[in-house]
């Protein structure tokens, strides 16, 4: 059974047209993360929510925003996508932020910017 679900799996948008990616989880985990992954590279953390507390990474562009309306759902908003934002976007969850806790990833959303 899928535990971390991402929709859509593939998203095509136009340069500058806002886009929203969705993540939901059935694990009831407190922490949800968004990563950006470019081809054959390691995932790069954009931000995470610890419950309702939003934590942005220092080098995440302002173009990227996130919302977490409840425990199960988290959204990634890209306000004005550029060609350089084309990537795989991964959502992950963990029960806590303690260092021995495991992160579980969703299948990802592949974003194409035309």
Partner 1 sequence: TQLLEQSPQFLSIQEGENLTVYCNSSSVFSSLQWYRQEPGEGPVLLVTVVTGGEVKKLKRLTFQFGDARKDSSLHITAAQPGDTGLYLCAGRRAGGTSYGKLTFGQGTILTVHP
Q: What residue ranges bind partner 1 (CB under 8 A)?
A: 4, 6, 33, 40-43, 45, 50, 55, 88, 90, 97-108, 110
Nearer to partner 1, 26 or 41 (CB): 41
In the complex, least distance from residue 107 CB atom to partner 1, rounded to whole angstroms: 5
For residue 105, list its beta bridge partners: 92
Residue 2 in tokens: 């899928």
In the complex, least distance from residue 16 CB atom to partner 1, rounded to whole angstroms: 26
CA dist 19 and 77 (Å) reads 6
CA dist 107 and 114 (Å) reads 23
């Amino acid at each position: 059974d899928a535990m971390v679900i991402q929709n859509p799996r593939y998203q095509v948008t136009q340069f500058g047209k806002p886009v929203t990616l969705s993540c939901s989880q059935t694990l009831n985990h407190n922490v949800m993360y968004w990563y950006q992954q470019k081809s054959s590279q390691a995932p790069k953390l954009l931000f995470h929510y610890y419950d309702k507390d939003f934590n942005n990474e220092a080098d995440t562009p302002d173009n990227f925003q996130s919302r977490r309306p409840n425990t199960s759902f988290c959204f990634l908003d890209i306000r004005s996508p550029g060609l350089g934002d084309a990537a795989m976007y991964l959502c992950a969850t963990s029960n806590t932020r303690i260092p021995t806790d495991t992160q579980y990833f969703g299948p990802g959303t592949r974003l194409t910017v035309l």
